[in-house]
Chains A and B, each alone.
Chain A
Amino acid sequence: QLQLQESGPGLVKPSETLPLTCAVSGGSIRSSPYYWGWIRQPPGKGLEWIAFNDYTGRTFYNPSLKSRVTISADTSKNHFSLNLSSMTAADAAIYYCARRTINWRFDYWGQGMVVSVSS
């Protein structure tokens, strides 16, 4: 059974960069036709996608976040990462990692990582 697990700091300071990692077990991130990426959910609000890429580096970004987002995959460790720069209070959210499969459906999700932004 595929499992995804987010890790990273639960608290970041304004203007700093949020680094998150998603460890994948029970399957390889090199598998096709999968993409791996991030979706977030501000407190009490809906879902917002951030970015997804495959292990070759082909990446799709939410245009509203693209300038601040870096995502990458480490096939040797079977995990992928997100860096979101210039954090503000508006970036406080639960951050989920997820797998994208055919027709851009998200069939596996991590349990979510709560991230707060405060000095």
Chain B
Amino acid sequence: SIVLTQPPSVSVAPGQTATITCGGGNIENYNVHWYQQRPGQAPVLVVYDDSDRPSGIPERFSGSNSGNTATLTITRVEAGDEADFYCQIWDSSGDVVIFGGGTKLTVL
């Protein structure tokens, strides 16, 4: 099965843009979903199907997926965005859910 690789940590100053990557072989062939998990809380879906946003998620959150890398981009980062972020796919070849290892976003 495909393995999803995320950087353990990303740091960004308030107001700047955070980019979190999710690498995997030919990941562009999968629908990638992203979750934000603030400390002590359950994960929240912030981007689905590579680039769509659920209702209530700010436009500052966006996603893309090409080649071997999916990317979550957060513009105009705020202190409240500090959280762990996870990418996730469904691998139909093995009927398994796969999560990336997670990226801790720190707002400096």
Contact = CB atoms under 8 A, between A and B. Distances in A.
Contact of B42 (A49, A103, A104, A110): A110
A103 B31 contact: yes
Contacts of A107: 45, 48, 54
Interface in B63-108: 86, 88-90, 94-97, 99-102
Interface residues of B, number: 23
Nearest to A106: B45
Interface residues of A, number: 17
B42 A96 contact: yes
B49 A46 contact: no
Contacts of B33: 103-106
B95 A60 contact: yes
A103 B94 CA distance: 15
Nearest to B48: A105
Contacts, number: 56
17 contacts: A47-B35, A47-B86, A47-B99, A47-B102, A49-B96, A60-B97, A103-B31, A104-B33, A105-B31, A105-B33, A105-B45, A106-B43, A106-B45, A106-B88, A110-B42, A111-B41, A111-B42
Interface of A: 46-49, 60, 62-63, 96, 103-107, 109-112
A96 B88 CA distance: 16
Interface of B: 31, 33, 35, 41-45, 48-49, 54, 86, 88-90, 94-97, 99-102
B31 A104 contact: yes
Contact of A49 (B45, B48, B99): B99
A58 to B, nearest CB: 11
Contacts of A110: 42
Contacts of B94: 63
